[in-house]
Amino acid sequence: MDCQATLSISVTQCDPTSATTPLHWPVPATVHVSCPAKQLAPQQRQDLAIQVLAGTETVSELARQHEVSRKFLYQQAHTAEETLSEAFAPSSRPDDVLFYLPVTKAWLRQLALALVLICHSSYRGVVELLRDLFDYRISLGSVHNIVHSAVPHAQRINEQYDLSSILIGLLDEIFQARDPVLVGVDAKSTFCFLLSQEEHRDAATWGIRLLELVDRGFAPEATIADFASGLRAGHQEALPGRPCRGDVFHALYNIGPLVRYLENRAYETMDACAKLERKQATTERRRGRKDQSLAKKLSYARPAEAKAIALADEVALLARWLRDDILSVAGPEYAIRRDLFDFVVAELRAREPACPHRIRPVRIRNLLTVALGLFGARFGW
């Protein structure tokens, strides 16, 4: 029942024979009684609208159960239908204008820089985009000038950074068009504090760039780098007494090709042995006896196959220990890592005669150097 019905009932329940005028009737007893529809919470209104739309019960029955009018229920159902229509309607037509841009030359310069630096677009890609989307002609030289004109301003901004918060610095060398680029990155934040294209990557160049960083507060607890001679010598001159630890990347990077080479060689020996066995089976089927020359070849091929497979499996296992246990971030304590590293080096040395031209360079140039840089420089080994 709705509010009007409730008020009419409360009036009829008053004594009609009373001499009291309507102005003195007990109005507070009826006026402050809220109608059931107003007492419904939003979730209850939503449930009623869903029931009306579902049609599981008649509107009259729902109105009787919840003491509301049918008009109220139809209003809630209409609201729900509008909400559903709005939710599933397309947000906007494809040809609707979202916003307008005041395209100026300064804005086009920003767009060209964003395309090159953020989208990694080529100069020609910038030229094509401005031509096709904006009907604006620009030359490759203009794009080049836009990019390079931003370099001095970017350098001034970079020079304002305080580098005293860097605890571990990562140093390396990359190459752009065969020219070396000296790189320095903060290990914790990955902030690039050094990116300098140079003509040389010798000790003097590294030393000068590191001294410039020192003037800006660069005083790390330690650095991590590979074993490039120029980098190491320049580090020693600019940061004396600061440990330069060996990196993990080169150790894993150099042992990977060794593992793949031995695996491929094992597959080749398996293939060669299988071919000999097929030839021997064909000869025995046609002639009724084995070919002695093939039998002699098989007598050498089968042991070679077994040795190649064993060597590939064993070196792959040593590489997994190096990657997952010795050089991993989370793993055993230092003493265990050091013992396991000595074991890996000893096992590789024992297998050198089976493939000396591949195993020995990895053991000498890579692993022993890693031992000096990763363990020795860090723990005084």
Please calculate the CA angle 129-132-137 and round it to the nearest 5 degrees: 80
Q: What is the pLDDT of residue 381?
A: 35
| HEC sequence for the chain | CCHHHHHHHHHHCCCCCCCCCHHHCCCHHHHCCCCHHHHCCHHHHHHHHHHHHHCCCCHHHHHHHHCCCHHHHHHHHHHHHHHHHHHHCCCCCCCCCCCCCCCCHHHHHHHHHHHHHCCCCCHHHHHHHHHHHHCCCCCHHHHHHHHHHHHHHHHHHHCCCCCCCCCEEEEEEEEECCEEEEEEEECCCCCEEEEEECCCCCHHHHHHHHHHHHHCCCCCCEEEECCCHHHHHHHHHHCCCCCEEECCHHHHHHHHHHHHHHHHHHHHHHHHHHHHHHHHHHHHHHHCCCCHHHHHHHHHHHHHHHHHHHHHHHHHHHHHHHHHHHCCCCCCCHHHHHHHHHHHHHHHHHCHHHCHHHHHHHHHHHHHHHHHHHHHHHHCC
- What Cα–Cα distance (Å) separates residue 79 from each residue in 39, 49, 67? 18, 8, 20
9 falls in which pLDDT band (50, 70, 90)? very low
- Residue 12: per-residue pLDDT: 40
What confidence score (pLDDT) does residue 191 get? 93
pTM for this structure?
0.54
Closest CA to 15 of 26, 6, 5: 26
pLDDT tier at 62 (50, 70, 90 boundaries)?
confident
pLDDT band at 109; cut points 50, 70, 90? very high
User: 28-32, 68-72, 114-118, 297-301: which has the minimum mean pLDDT?
Assistant: 28-32
- Measure the CA–CA gap between 376 and 381, rounded to whole angstroms: 4
The predicted model gives 59-70 an average pLDDT of 87
pLDDT of residue 366: 62
The structure tokens listed for 239 are 């940061």
pLDDT tier, 86 (very low <50, low <70, confident <90, very high otherwise): confident
Write down the pLDDT at residue 93.
66
Is residue 27 within 8 Å of 13, Cβ to Cβ? no
**Taking the CA of residue 161 as centre, how many other CA atoms within 13 Å lie in the half-sphere pointing to its CB?**
15
Question: What span, in angstroms and rounded, lies between the C-alpha atoms of 292 and 298?
Answer: 10
Residue pair 123/116 in contact by the 8 Å Cβ criterion: yes
> Looking at the predicted structure, is the pLDDT value of residue 165 above 70?
yes
pLDDT(207) > 90: yes
Q: Which of 94-98, 205-209, 241-245, 367-371 has the highest mean pLDDT?
A: 205-209
Closest C-alpha among 46, 54, 97 to residue 75: 46
CA atoms of 334 and 375, how far apart (whole Å): 9
Q: Using 50, 70 and 90 to split pLDDT, how confident is the model at 55?
A: confident
Return the amino acid letter for 265: R
Q: What per-residue confidence (pLDDT) applies to 150?
A: 93
Mean pLDDT, residues 175-193 taken together: 93
Q: Between 14 and 372, where is the model more confident? A: 372
Predicted confidence (pLDDT) per residue in 275-297, tens digit: 999 999 999 888 888 889 999 99
pLDDT at 339 over 90: no
